[in-house]
Amino acid sequence: MVMLLNQFYDSLKETIQKINLTEQTMMGFYATLDHITHHRGQAVFYLRAQHIAPPEYMY
C-alpha cells in the first residue's frame, strides 16, 4: 500500500510541475494534501487498533 501511495504522490507532483501555479491551483493542491493526510491518519489508527505498528512516516 505504501508503494501505491508513493506512486500517487509522484503522479501528483508531476502534475503540479506541469501546470500554471495560481492561488486557486495551490489551494486545490493543499486541499488534496489535507485529504491524503486525513486518510493516512485513518489507516494509522486502523493499524494500531489491530496491534500493528504503522510504517515510519517520512515527509
Q: Where are the domains of the chain?
A: 24-51
Contact between 46 and 53 (Cβ < 8 Å): no
CA-nearest of 4, 9, 57 to 33 is 9
Q: Residue 58: is its pLDDT beyond 80?
A: no
pLDDT of residue 59: 65
Read off the pTM.
0.58
Give 56: exposed, middle or buried? Use CB within 10 Å, 0-12, 13-18, 19+. exposed
What tens digit of pLDDT does each residue of 6-56 get? Answer: 898 899 788 878 888 889 988 998 998 899 999 999 999 999 999 999 988
User: 505498528: which residue's cell?
Assistant: 53
* CB proximity list for 48: less than 8 A, separation 6 or greater: 54
pLDDT score at 45: 96
